[in-house]
Structure 1
């Protein structure tokens, strides 16, 4: 497969990424690690305002039920809205971290999602603030799609389910879902299992 061939040829150019967004699609948190496990990014996004103001912006034109869901997504990454300033890194800083780690248009971007959801989210804000060559779309791969090919009859290809099914265990990330760094580390582990299986089959 193209992904495995690229990884075996240039493993240092592989980045596993997770982007957590709010109910309104605004990016709340970004995590990225290399195939070797080096943490490139692990941060919430700082939009330069108080948490209270950020919360108020997220409530615009929403129903009561939607407002509650928006509150929950903010509370998960940040904390209950208050007057304190947001912490974390700006989107510009996050892109600079990726660039300094060696991510280019020719790098491989790996995530666990339907339809490269996280990558498409990143495209919406990268062009607004920084000329940065994120990987080309043909270099984006999903471990969800990968494992649907490897185990087509599985009732769920959810990342945490695959992680436990493959008997992977790491107390630091097991049972943690929709938090960027644990999600990237889980994605990395299930990708590594697939790589090992591919290399084993090629050597038989």
Structure 2
């Protein structure tokens, strides 16, 4: 989202800036509107952002709990829908996370490493390395170099697939096998897709996976407007935090969660995200009033 301001092109407008988050947190959604352009500062001489909103004093679990006692988290419509499905049809919920090869430049092709999908009960539907039939780790590294990656061993590949040897990765499935498992579990356009991202990153990865399986994403995936990316809703409901990384949020809510020790593995990330959502809607949240 962007606003063009004649003569002031150095200004940047985004729905995740501090001012937008603060304003949107105070105004009811039916009346919410973007602030005027003069409310935004010049980008020159950037300084640490001023923390504004109910989360400005939250730095650890103790301070989070104190703030929640005074002002519980709002439960926006998407979170309310998750809460309802969790109680009535948890198998219609798909919590998804992908791990991919880090791209030093955006023009490089995307390579998928790992995927995990959980249902609303937290049960793993599928969790595995993504691998084409017969592709060894050495062959995969060679393919990355041909695609323009200069240091595949340093881009998270070894962490997920193992050493660069002429061996198949452990616990690997082909794109077709993964998609078939998800379809059998009920993934279709009417399911609730949940990920933690700014721009449907995991849905884009799943689109690529389905295409690699030789299938049509449109007949399998929920449309974008029915997918819940969580991050922006959380930023609007709890403005002022120093960081909105998933691990940071989880440590504020449940610092003893053992899966926090394994972040950036998809099985751990989905478990942490589901824990955050459950705590949000069932412990720390309150429904929004119309």
* TM-score by shorter chain over 0.5: yes
Q: Distance in 2 between matches of 1:5 and 1:143?
A: 12
Separation in structure 1 between the aligned mates of residue 177 and residue 78 of structure 2, nearest angstrom: 28
1:78 aligns with 2:128: no
The Cα RMSD (Å) is 2.1
Which residue in 2 is equivalent to 1:99? 183
One of 34, 55, 60 as aligned partner of 2:141 = 55
Give ranges in structure 1 of 5+ residues lacking alignment. none
Matched, 1:3 2:3: no
Q: 1:136-175 residue pairs with structure 2 within 5 A?
A: 136-171=223-258, 173-175=259-261
Residue 255 of structure 2 is aligned to residue 180 of structure 1 = no
Paired residue for 1:115, among 177, 190, 199? 199
Counterpart residue number, 2:127: 42
Please report how far the alpha carbon of residue 3 of structure 1 lies from its aligned counterpart in structure 2 after TM superposition.
1.3
Matching of residue 124 in structure 1 with residue 199 in structure 2:
no
Change (3 A) 1:5 1:164: closer
User: How far does the alpha carbon of each residue in 1:132-190 deviate from its partner, in whole angstroms, 9 at most, with x for none?
Assistant: 5122211211222221112111110000000001134222x122221100000011011
Q: Aligned pairs, how many?
A: 199
Structure number with higher helix proportion: 1
Match of 1:20 in 2: 99
1:75 CA drift (Å):
0.3
Q: Which whole-Å CA distance do the structure 2 matches of 1:39 and 1:125 have between them?
A: 18
TM-score (norm 2): 0.63
Asked whether the 8 Å contact 1:33–1:40 carries over to 2, the reply is yes
Q: CA deviation at 1:125?
A: 3.1
SS at match of 2:241: coil
CA distance in 1, matches of 2:261, 2:254: 13
Larger radius of gyration: 2
Q: 1:51, 1:82 within 8 Å by CA — same for their partners in 2?
A: yes
Contact in 2 for aligned 1:46/1:90 (Cα 8 Å): yes
For 2:144 and 2:282, locate their aligned partners in 1 and report how far apart those are by CA, in whole Å.
43
The answer to which of 77-86 and 3-12 deviates more is 3-12
* 1:86, distance to aligned residue in structure 2 (A): 3.4
> 2 CA distance for matches of 1:130 and 1:143?
27
- The aligned counterpart of 2:279 is 193
Q: State the Cα deviation string for residues 28-60 of structure 1 (Å, max 9, x = none).
A: 000011121111111011212111010011112
- 5+ long unaligned stretches in structure 2: 1-75, 103-108
CA distance in 1, matches of 2:203, 2:239: 24
Which segment drifts farther, 134-143 or 155-164?
Answer: 134-143
- Contact 1:52–1:82, Cα closer than 8 Å, also in 2: yes
